[in-house]
Amino acid sequence: MKYKLLVIDVDGTLLNDQKQITPHTKSAILKAQQMGVHIVLASGRPTGGILPLAKELELNNYGGYVISYNGAQIIEMQTGNLLFEKRINPELIPYLDKKAKKNGFTIFTYLENSLITDCADDPYVQQEANLNNMHIRQVSNFPNAIDFEPCKCILASDNEKELVGLENHWKKKLAGVADVFRSEDYFLEVVPPTVDKGNTLALLMEMLKLTREEVIAIGDGITDVPILQLAGLGVAMGNARDSVKVCASATTLTNEQDGVAVAIEKAILSAIRPAEVPLDQLNARGKHALMGNLGIQYTYASEDRVEATMPVDERTRQPFGILHGGATLALAETVAGLGSMLIVQPDEIVVGMQVSGNHISSAHEGDTVRAVATIFHKGRSSHVWNVDVFTSTDRLVSSIRVVNSVMKKR
């Protein structure tokens, strides 16, 4: 499979204009994850404003990541670990506040699940708090209240001309101290130096040992341009400005037309899921069989390769909360069995003859494992399959050999 990482902007990309993930988009993202593609949600939102979306998409089960504050943080969803963080020197806050007051701008920042400001009634503050489901903390003296290192500060105003003027001034004056940019016509953001989505994505790619050719990025805004240019395939949304579209390798439909889903289907799902194998029907038929009872779902099938996922939960774990070896072997026999059925003649059937495996590491409750079966020997009377089972972070759990016997129907 060519692509291993899919980076998706949130507002204007993942979400429609009602700030919702449509069923079509959610389904496409889940299918991509089941294929082993890891998802990154990259946004200017604070971490707390992205986590509910990440959990809705099950990034915690499939080894996904969150890039928040426009690149100031990386969160590993499966563990909750903070992999990277960069913050603003709080000594800069009094200066930012002085300039904001002089120009009549509102200034605010974030701390955990709170938005801190001395202008709680500002409509842009209220809009931002509602968007991220945050509590507004009204303070009387903004610089004195910021006794921590913020990930970013935002100045808000309807006076776009004045915001542009201050942006140009600060790009020179604050060079090397902080970076500034307008994320919206009414927002001027101040972030730590060298922080943007592209630089942080490059850092994550280095951690994961991925090349550009293994990454897709989808976005709609100016702040998405660095990831669109860094990724091997950069896809601009149909609702993006022309200045963003020219920086991308391709354009998809708008966020109101499930543009993310369409891009995933074209770049990922169509390439790795042959249409002639009715996986949806096979999964539905197996719902009340062993594979359904274990939560096994076929995700890819061809004549020499079959993949499926299985959750590590109360059905498949042993008493200590880790994946049961018997469930792992059942998963292996399931994918190898389908593989053999795809290549036998219409008058032939397949039965399992032998299965043996080595359990190399463990998968813990809450994870979703992925089995990849590849044909090793295809004879007239028997098939031999190698089945590797991986965690959602691509750690090898088990390596299994399955031998199937090919028999004539009676």
Active site residues per annotation: 333
Q: Where are the beta strands (DSSP E) in 113-184?
A: 114-117, 135-138, 153-156, 179-184
Beta bridge partners of 107: 155
Residue 299 to residue 280: CA distance in whole angstroms:
9
Residue 322 to residue 316: CA distance in whole angstroms:
8
> Could you tell me whether strands 114-117 and 106-111 are parallel, antiparallel, or unpaired per DSSP bridges?
antiparallel
The dihedral through the CA atoms of 258, 262, 263, 265 has a sign that is positive
> Could you tell me whether strands 382-390 and 106-111 are parallel, antiparallel, or unpaired per DSSP bridges?
unpaired
Interhelix angle 93-103/160-173, nearest 10 degrees: 150
Residue 145 to residue 409: CA distance in whole angstroms:
78
Q: Specify the amino acid at residue 336.
A: A
What are 272's two structure tokens?
A: 């790795």
Q: Specify the amino acid at residue 174.
A: L
Residue 23 to residue 35: CA distance in whole angstroms:
18
Q: Specify the amino acid at residue 34.
A: Q
Residue 159 to residue 166: CA distance in whole angstroms:
11
Helices (H), 237-324: 242-245, 259-264, 270-272, 279-285, 290-293
Distance (Å) of CA 160 to CA 153, 163, 183, 184: 17, 5, 12, 10
Residue given tokens 């993310």 in the structure block: 260
Residue given tokens 């469930």 in the structure block: 327
- CA-only gyration radius of the chain, Å: 25
Half-sphere exposure of 264 (CA within 13 A, CB side): 27
Q: Specify the amino acid at residue 364.
A: H
Contact between 403 and 386 (Cβ < 8 Å):
no
> Could you tell me whether strands 368-378 and 382-390 are parallel, antiparallel, or unpaired per DSSP bridges?
antiparallel
Contact between 111 and 74 (Cβ < 8 Å):
no
Three-class DSSP category at 225: helix
